[in-house]
Amino acid sequence: MPRSPALAATERTPRRGHGRVTLADVATAAGVTAITVSRYVRGEGYVSAETAERIRNAIGQTGYVPNKTAGGLASGGSRMVAALLPNIANSIFGETAQGLAEGLSHAGYELMLGSTSYSMEREEEQLRAVLGWQPAALVVTGRHHSAAARALLRATQARGTPVIELWDHHDPGSEGFAQVGFNHDEVGHAMAAHLLDRGHRKLAYIDSGVSEDFRAHDRGVAFAAAAKAAGAQVQLVVGAAGDAFDAGRDVIRRLVQGAGKGRAKKALAVSALAFANDHLACGALLEAARSGIRVPQDLALLGFGDFALARQLLPPLSSVSLPRHAIGAQAAACLVAALEGDAPAASATLPWEIVARESTGTEAPKR
Amino acid sequence: MPRSPALAATERTPRRGHGRVTLADVATAAGVTAITVSRYVRGEGYVSAETAERIRNAIGQTGYVPNKTAGGLASGGSRMVAALLPNIANSIFGETAQGLAEGLSHAGYELMLGSTSYSMEREEEQLRAVLGWQPAALVVTGRHHSAAARALLRATQARGTPVIELWDHHDPGSEGFAQVGFNHDEVGHAMAAHLLDRGHRKLAYIDSGVSEDFRAHDRGVAFAAAAKAAGAQVQLVVGAAGDAFDAGRDVIRRLVQGAGKGRAKKALAVSALAFANDHLACGALLEAARSGIRVPQDLALLGFGDFALARQLLPPLSSVSLPRHAIGAQAAACLVAALEGDAPAASATLPWEIVARESTGTEAPKR
DNA sequence: TTGTAAGCGTTATCAA
DNA sequence: TTGATAACGCTTACAA
């Protein structure tokens, strides 16, 4: 059926558009062509003050919102960064995500977020999924990825898309990706040193129950190595899965059982415990109080993460304070710099610090 | 400088593509046309087993990744949902984000996440930003938005894009957006009832120091109304900004000061406190222990959120357990259903529950 | 300062 | 079962 001119005027052309207001609509309303509106919107090229005014009004009237997917398609670049984190619910990665979101958003980038549930397999899936959106840059967590994921990351980087690994900083730089984080071996060493300095010779590291938390394992291995090198005894214990507080309590309960009770009571098998995270440590601290174990006299406890709770308990928990938010913020800054400057992303080591509180003794370490 | 034929053959055509492998490349490799590959990739329409096999190989060889922005542009639909949350770092919204991410990802949608920092202004900005990405659906937090943001949401919904408000559920349904959450007035009432039932007649609600946490305010107002209706005394106190634990401690300190000390000591001005969140409540609980205030005999404490820590302290904290993760998961389910079924998104009220622990007394309420 | 033409990588539509 | 063609809404390149 041929369309009458009148009808055509009402409904415009057939299958034209998906109902959204386009650049062309604004242009018509402003009495210019689309490219002029485009220039105005992007703030590039020359647009006379008079024309700009007309366009401004037209945009206001029509409620135009630029279509960024079309823009990206045309220009071959997008203002969107995809990030893959093990877990967003976790306060550790939550703050990192927050830092990323803030930093990117201020620079005019959007954030596409994927949660990998600490699984390399999921990471690979998510990677394929977000890659289809042509992100301007890619953020992943840690330096352990499946072979296929590594290949995808390498190919992506080869095409000029910056890739950053978060939360780790290891010298050989695995594949040459930029890294924003810190070295977990160093933290493991420092945790051991902190306890050794205070005279402890029987140590244990309580690892996270999350099997793919590689960074926690790395710290544990380094902790053990440092302790052994100093001639101390070390155990590596894996905390129970599930609620971390309960897992921490559980560690203390088993320790007390091992020591026997009543008249058969012996000294605890270890004198200091280092944990993969503060929740484990706080659970242990609370259980110690109930078991009559004096902290730090009978047992010193050292956490990791310096959560808000750590300094609230009695005794306050010594812990490793982390640049949780800074990692995200710094990654955002690195990416934006790389993107604007058309350079590869830069790595950054971010500072962490052992905050000595009562749970590992208030004494200054003997020199 | 005119390009020689040989050169042209090497670099293909001028300004063709941005270096990515396209459908056309795969098609050439497989000896078919682009549309056939497209059909194979989407699993739609007919592709012979033989052709499919050739395409599969071609995809493997070329490492083709479908360009979802181009696809979305052509089809007028995207498989991406944008969500705006007040804060991702916070464990409350973190878990919701996690639920959303998981639910959407399983259904083959990506998640674009924005953090509004509890600011309506930021929300509006972010809204404009994500709208340009043509999301398939929109998720926002709460029912309070700036006028402009509301207009944008309404226009978006009118165009057929589902809009869901999270974490709230209020009858008039503000603008008719679907809501996935619960009614905070009811929670406020229930919190008051919980304390009134246990015989308390001098109550206070400690509100969050975050001024745009409207839901916490709503609960406080409802709490006060319920208490007054029962003939009890109520105060509304606003916690200090900054660390929530410290703000909670601070409340107790001021309460103790008010009661005087030593020989001039009087009874506390209130006998029960309800809090805007568990961090405030836990801070108060810890400070009470240090101040020699017996919980619940001298002072009953009721939290909100039932964080993992709540049941670990002594005495364990009574609190309101929330469907943090479920809100995200349910919202994802609602959206996917709406998107696949082409229907408007459905609202859902999710269950919460007051978990009575020792901090408000173990006695069964008198009937 | 503004415009024309072509193309980005994909899918809808119609035809074969 | 496969293909040709024309969009989708925008930007680059070049022209005026």
Q: With cut-offs at 50, 70 and 90, classify the pLDDT of residue A211.
A: confident
DSSP annotation of A238: E
Query: In A, which residues are within 8 Å of B118 by CB distance?
Result: none
Give the closest of B65, B128, B245 to A312, CB-based: B245
Query: Which residues are CB-neighbours of A137 under 8 A, at least 6 positions away?
Result: A81, A82, A161, A162, A163, A164, A335, A338, A339, A345
The rounded distance, in Å, linking the Cα atoms of B247 and A267 is 40
Q: pLDDT at position B212, please?
A: 84
The nearest alpha carbon in chain A to B19 belongs to A159
The rounded distance, in Å, linking the Cα atoms of A232 and A192 is 10
The rounded distance, in Å, linking the Cα atoms of A166 and A176 is 13
The rounded distance, in Å, linking the Cα atoms of A234 and A204 is 5
Query: In B, which residues are within 8 Å of A113 by CB distance?
Result: 97, 101, 111-113
Cβ within 8 Å, pair B89-A66:
no
Backbone angles phi, psi at A126, to 5 degrees: -60, -35
Residue A21 (CA) to nucleotide D10 (C1'), in angstroms, measures 13
Assess whether pLDDT exceeds 60 at residue A336: yes
| 8 A C-beta contact, residue A305 and residue A277 | yes
Cβ within 8 Å, pair B112-A110:
yes
Query: In B, which residues are within 8 Å of A155 by CB distance?
Result: 63
What's the CA dihedral at B326, B310, A315, A253 to 10 degrees?
Answer: -90
The nearest alpha carbon in chain B to A108 belongs to B129
**Which ranges in A84-177 belong to alpha helices (H)?**
91-106, 120-131, 147-158
Which of helix, strand or coil describes residue B229? helix
| 8 A C-beta contact, residue B253 and residue B281 | no
Q: Which residue, chain included where needed, has tokens 């590869």? A: A344
Measured in Å, how far apart are chain B's first and last C-alpha atoms? 95
Q: Which residue pairs from A313-317 have beta carbons closer than 8 angstroms and sit at least 24 positions apart in sequence?
A: A313/A282, A313/A285, A313/A286, A313/B286, A314/A289, A314/B286, A314/B290, A315/A285, A315/A357, A315/A358, A315/A359, A316/A357, A316/A358, A316/A359, A317/A278, A317/A281, A317/A282, A317/A285, A317/A357, A317/A359
What is the nearest CA distance from A200 to chain B, expressed in angstroms? 28
What is the nearest CA distance from A197 to chain B, expressed in angstroms? 31
Q: Tell me the pairing of strands A178-181 and A163-166.
A: parallel
Give the closest of B132, B159, B244 to A19, CB-based: B159
The nearest alpha carbon in chain B to A310 belongs to B245
Query: In B, which residues are within 8 Å of A67 by CB distance?
Result: 73, 132, 134
Beta bridge partners of A300: A272
Residue B47 (CA) to nucleotide D1 (C1'), in angstroms, measures 6
Assess whether pLDDT exceeds 70 at residue A299: yes
The rounded distance, in Å, linking the Cα atoms of A137 and A160 is 9
The rounded distance, in Å, linking the Cα atoms of B123 and A46 is 32
Residue B147 (CA) to nucleotide D13 (C1'), in angstroms, measures 42
Nucleotide nearest to A33 (CA to C1'): C3
Residue B36 (CA) to nucleotide C13 (C1'), in angstroms, measures 15
Query: In B, which residues are within 8 Å of A22 by CB distance?
Result: none
Q: Is the CB of B70 under 7 A from strand C?
A: yes
Beta bridge partners of B84: B114
Q: Which residue, chain included where needed, has tokens 């706080």? A: A282
Tokens of A289: 């109080």
Model confidence over A100-159: pLDDT tens digits? Answer: 999 999 999 999 999 999 999 999 999 999 999 999 999 999 999 999 999 999 999 998
Query: In B, which residues are within 8 Å of A108 by CB distance?
Result: 129
Q: pLDDT at position A265, please?
A: 66
Residues 24-63 of B with CB under 7 A from strand C: 24, 34-35, 38, 41-42, 44
Residue B74 (CA) to nucleotide D5 (C1'), in angstroms, measures 14
Backbone angles phi, psi at B346, to 5 degrees: -95, 145
Nucleotide nearest to A15 (CA to C1'): D7
Q: pLDDT at position A210, please?
A: 86
Query: In B, which residues are within 8 Å of A130 by CB distance?
Result: 110
Assess whether pLDDT exceeds 50 at residue B1: no
Cβ within 8 Å, pair A67-B134:
yes
Q: Average the pLDDT over B289-302 and give the result.
A: 96
Cβ within 8 Å, pair A132-B87:
no
Assess whether pLDDT exceeds 80 at residue A2: no
What is the nearest CA distance from A91 to chain B, expressed in angstroms? 6
Q: For chain B, give me the number of helices (H) and strands (E)?
A: 13, 12
Residue A15 (CA) to nucleotide D7 (C1'), in angstroms, measures 8
The nearest alpha carbon in chain A to B324 belongs to A89
Q: Average the pLDDT over A277-282 and give the result.
A: 97
Q: Is the CB of A134 under 7 A from strand D?
A: no
| 8 A C-beta contact, residue B210 and residue B240 | no
Q: Is the CB of A34 under 7 A from strand D?
A: yes
For residue A315, whether the previous peptide bond is cis, meaning omega lies within 30 degrees of 0, is yes
| Residue A37 one-letter amino acid | V
Q: pLDDT at position A174, please?
A: 56
Cβ within 8 Å, pair A308-B126:
no
Nucleotide nearest to A22 (CA to C1'): D9
Q: pLDDT at position A100, please?
A: 97
Q: Is the CB of A342 under 7 A from strand C?
A: no
**Which ranges in B232-277 belong to alpha helices (H)?**
244-259
Cβ within 8 Å, pair B312-A113:
no
Residue nearest to nucleotide C3 (CA to C1'): A33
The rounded distance, in Å, linking the Cα atoms of B224 and B205 is 8
Q: With cut-offs at 50, 70 and 90, classify the pLDDT of residue A173.
A: low
Q: Tell me the pairing of strands B202-207 and B233-238.
A: parallel
Residue B71 (CA) to nucleotide D9 (C1'), in angstroms, measures 13
**Could you tell me the pTM of the whole model?**
0.90
Tokens of B15: 């300004």
Assess whether pLDDT exceeds 90 at residue B204: yes
Which of helix, strand or coil describes residue A60? helix
DSSP annotation of A262: G
The rounded distance, in Å, linking the Cα atoms of A124 and A118 is 11
The rounded distance, in Å, linking the Cα atoms of B220 and B204 is 9
Q: With cut-offs at 50, 70 and 90, classify the pLDDT of residue B3.
A: very low
Query: Which residues are CB-neighbours of A14 under 8 A, at least 6 positions away?
Result: A3
Q: pLDDT at position B14, please?
A: 38
Rounded-to-5 percentages of helix, strand, coil across chain A: 45, 15, 40
Q: pLDDT at position B6, please?
A: 32
**Residue B137: C-alpha distances to residues A22, B84, B115, B161 (Å):** 20, 12, 17, 5
Q: Average the pLDDT over B125-143 and give the result.
A: 96
Residue A17 (CA) to nucleotide D7 (C1'), in angstroms, measures 9
Query: Which residues are CB-neighbours of A275 under 8 A, at least 6 positions away?
Result: A205, A206, A239, A248, A281, A284, A301, A302, A303, A304
**Residue B229: C-alpha distances to residues A13, B203, B224, B275, B367 (Å):** 63, 13, 8, 20, 18
Best residue of A16, A69, A117 to probe chain B, by most B CBs closer than 10 Å: A69
Q: Average the pLDDT over B18-33 and give the result.
A: 91
The rounded distance, in Å, linking the Cα atoms of B67 and B37 is 13
Size of interface A-B (CB pairs under 8 A): 156
Q: Average the pLDDT over B174-179 and give the result.
A: 82
The nearest alpha carbon in chain B to A131 belongs to B65
Q: With cut-offs at 50, 70 and 90, classify the pLDDT of residue A19.
A: confident
The nearest alpha carbon in chain B to A60 belongs to B148
Percent of chain B residues past pLDDT 70, beyond the cut: 91
Q: Average the pLDDT over A268-286 and give the result.
A: 96
Query: In A, which residues are within 8 Å of B70 by CB distance?
Result: 69, 73
| Residue A210 one-letter amino acid | V
Q: With cut-offs at 50, 70 and 90, classify the pLDDT of residue B20.
A: confident
Model confidence over B59-104: pLDDT tens digits? Answer: 999 999 999 999 999 999 899 999 999 999 988 899 999 999 999 9
Q: Tell me the pairing of strands B353-355 and B319-321.
A: antiparallel
Query: Which residues are CB-neighbours of B1 under 8 A, at least 6 positions away?
Result: none
Assess whether pLDDT exceeds 80 at residue B173: no
Nucleotide nearest to A67 (CA to C1'): D9
| Residue A165 one-letter amino acid | E
Q: Is the backbone of residue B173 left (phi > 0), alpha (psi -120 to 50) or beta? A: left
Query: In A, which residues are within 8 Å of B110 by CB distance?
Result: 112, 114, 129-130, 133
Cβ within 8 Å, pair B133-A105:
no
Assess whether pLDDT exceeds 60 at residue A366: no
Enumerate the nucleotides of strand C whose atoms come under 7 Å of any protein CB.
1-5, 7-13
Query: In A, which residues are within 8 Å of B314 by CB distance?
Result: 286, 290
Model confidence over A61-114: pLDDT tens digits? Answer: 999 999 999 999 999 989 999 999 999 998 889 999 999 999 999 999 999 999
Model confidence over B235-277: pLDDT tens digits? Answer: 999 999 999 999 999 999 999 987 766 666 677 889 999 999 9
Q: Is the CB of B105 under 7 A from strand D?
A: no
| 8 A C-beta contact, residue A290 and residue A253 | no
Sign of dihedral through CA atoms B331, B336, B338, B339? positive
| CA-based nearest residue to A199, from A237, A235, A236, A231 | A231
Q: Please, what is the average pLDDT of chain A?
A: 90
- Other C-beta atoms closer than 10 Å to the C-beta of A186 total 14
Q: Which residue, chain included where needed, has tokens 């009118």? A: B158
